[in-house]
Chain A
Amino acid sequence: MIQALRLPLAERRPPDRFRIFAVAVSCVAPLAILAIVVVLYREAAPAVSHFGAGFLLARSWNPVSLDFGALPFIYGTVATSFIALAIALPVGLAVAIVLAQPGAQRLRATIGTGVELLAAIPSVVYGIWALYVMAPYLFNHVELPVSERFSFIGLLSGPARQTSLFTAAVVLAVMILPTLSAVSRDVMRAVPSGLRESAIALGATWWETTWKVILPAARAGIFGASVLALGRALGETIAVTMVIGNRPEIPASIFSPAYTLASVIANEFTEATGVLYPAALAELGLVLILVTLIVNMLALLLVRSTSRTRR
């Protein structure tokens, strides 16, 4: 007994099999990511070896002549995501500012629930709504007037279409809004309340407190929230597929149809025959998942760095 007490702590405790089991089970999450990347790479291998690095910069997409390039899809994905972020950022920040205020918690909880429900609505429901309700409305009230008045700007020229890059970007903006506002709200809440109180005690108005104290303190986290939202936009599939118009070209105008990485896979993969065609689509998937993984990891590290400073 006394002998046992003298042993170092680690040796006295029997090995905890349950904890080892739990650690082993929790490995599934990292392993899943690894497995997805490896499996997609294996699927894409014929295209990777056939096209090489030029695949990423080639502009043609011709299943008949087996001539494939990723650039139109990369352009469509990046353009829709950044336009969506530009639309969603002011609104998302305003929501986060409102939600992060102290006081009137019941009202804020209601608004917060409403915004978070936006995240719960399935992508395909956004898709059908965007296709039948939003796209015709945007076409008549935004795309047509703007493309007629500003046709001298290449990006805003006509002819406008109901299913276009712009329509897809607007749907994406709605879909990433909850991520953006929820994460920036948490980051703003993590700003020490002493900062806010000191600013108010010095006589700063509400706006001055928010703009000059809270937002600068939460800057890195808000940037992280935006990057996280960008990652969600890059990977979004179904809603975009239904409204982007599915044309594998780099359009001159944002009111023209385009294509994204995710939506070309969704549309063409089940019909792709042969070796090279499905492999090219799988390589698009590989590009997509690698980009979103990197973007998400970066964003999460940014968000965590700010919420940790609070402790």
Chain B
Amino acid sequence: MRLRNRARRLRSTLAVSAAYALTGIALVPLALVLGYTAAKGLPAVTHPEFFLNVERPIGIPGGGVSHAIAGTAIMVGLASMLSIPVGVVGGLYLGECGGGRWAGWVRLAADVLVGAPSIAIGLFAYAVLVVPLHHFSGWSGAVALAVLMLPVVIRTSEGAIALIPTSLSESGLALGLPRWRVSLQLVLPAAAPGVITGALLAVARAAGETAPLLFTGFGNRFWNLDPTQPMSALPLIVFHDALTPYPSLQNQAWGAALVLVVLVLLVNLSSRWVLRRQLRLAGQL
């Protein structure tokens, strides 16, 4: 009997160590991706030309990705303008009165849309905006990114709004405020930190997406701030330059990848901090 118990305990200990070892293995790729991107990207990023110049032909030094940074900023900015207001109102609806059957369908649709392949969304934007206008444009890229951001904004702002205690909106309604003022002037400001971080997470996701931009924003080797024209973006630079056989372009790709990773990590880690604070504050209310 005692022997059997010892065997059971031994087996349990082994299983615990195996689970923790596998968890360790899960974190290895994170360290490797971050480490290699930093190591290979730093030589490119440390030249100021990288942020100041546009791409130069192969063999001519001093090329940069400023046009791609501008393109990413413009397309993601336009996409945010399109998707964040819509997403926040959707989130208000789900967070405040999300018990009904229709709300369940909206939630399911948003979750399914999060998992929709981004390349299909790119095809959609191509068919809707590029084909009728006969040329690639920053606007079509922005629309593709907006479709991608929308479900993320809806779900994260729903989460933030659901944290606000109903007593807040009830006291507003009891004072005779119309429902839109309760939602927009009482609940939304209280949930603002969570809603904003959710929106930032969506922005970070959109900034890193390549597939929807391949046949919408398309890429552009020159400086361009006009969203009716083709536009470059950082992920497009990484994708195109990484697949060339030229070491200088490959370095540029690693540099652009590093910029993307730093951006995404900053947004994610800071949003985590804000959300934790928000949870603690909601606990105090």
1/0 contact string of B128-144 vs chain A (CB within 8 Å)? 10000000000000000
A238 to B234, CA, bound (A): 14
Counting residue pairs across A and B whose Cβ atoms lie within 8 Å, the total is 254
Q: Is A32 a contact partner of B113 (Cβ separation < 8 A)?
A: yes
- Say if the beta carbon of A199 comes within 8 Å of chain B: no
Question: In the complex, which residues of chain A have a beta carbon less than 8 angstroms from the beta carbon of B239?
Answer: 124, 127, 238, 242
A307 at the binding interface (Cβ < 8 Å): no
Residues of B within 8 A of A177 (CB): 26, 29
Segment of B49-57, B60-68, B261-269 in the binding face: B261-269
Residue-by-residue, is B202-236 near A (CB-CB < 8 Å gives 1, otherwise 0)?
Answer: 00110111110011001000000000000000010
Chain B interface extent, by class: 35 or more
- Which secondary structure characterizes the binding site on chain B? helix
Check B11 against A121 for contact (C-beta < 8 Å): no
Q: Which of A148-156, A187-195, A227-235, A247-255 forms part of the interface with chain B?
A: A227-235
- With A90-B22, A269-B214 as contacts: A29 and B179 at CB distance below 8 Å: no
With A43-B123, A127-B239, A289-B116 as contacts: A120 and B268 at CB distance below 8 Å: yes
Q: In the bound complex, do residue B33 and residue A125 qualify as a contact, i.e. CB atoms below 8 Å apart? A: yes
By Cβ-Cβ distance, the 8 closest A-B pairs, closest first, are A122-B208, A235-B117, A94-B22, A18-B180, A205-B12, A22-B93, A207-B12, A207-B15
- The residues in B between 226 and 285 inclusive whose CB is less than 8 angstroms from any CB of A are 235, 238-239, 242-243, 250, 253-254, 257, 260-261, 264-265, 268-269, 272
Q: Which of A2-10, A56-64, A138-146, A290-298 is found at the contact surface with chain B? A: A290-298
Which residues of B are found within 8 Å of A236, using beta-carbon distances?
117
- Chain A contact residues: helix, strand, loop or mixed: helix
User: Does A296 contact B112, Cβ atoms closer than 8 Å?
Assistant: yes
CA distance A237 to B236 in the complex (A): 13
Q: Is the CB of B32 within 8 A of A133?
A: yes
B119 touches A127 (CB 8 A): no
Residues of A bordering B, CB below 8 Å: 16-19, 21-23, 25-30, 32-33, 35-36, 39-40, 42-43, 90-92, 94-95, 97-98, 111, 113-118, 120-129, 131-134, 174, 177, 181, 205-208, 210-211, 228, 231-232, 234-238, 242, 262, 265-266, 269-270, 282, 285, 288-289, 292-293, 296-297, 300-301
B147 interface hit (Cβ, 8 Å): yes
- On whether the beta carbons of B93 and A120 are closer than 8 Å, the reply is no
Check if A265 sits within 8 Å of B272, measured CB to CB. Answer: no
Q: Hey, which bits of chain B sit against chain A, CB under 8 A?
A: 8-9, 11-12, 14-16, 18-23, 25-27, 29-30, 32-33, 36-37, 40, 86, 89-90, 92-94, 97, 102-103, 105-106, 108-113, 115-121, 123-124, 126-128, 147, 150-151, 154, 178-180, 183, 204-205, 207-211, 214-215, 218, 235, 238-239, 242-243, 250, 253-254, 257, 260-261, 264-265, 268-269, 272
Kindly state the separation between the CA atoms of A162 and B108 in the bound complex, as whole angstroms.
Answer: 39
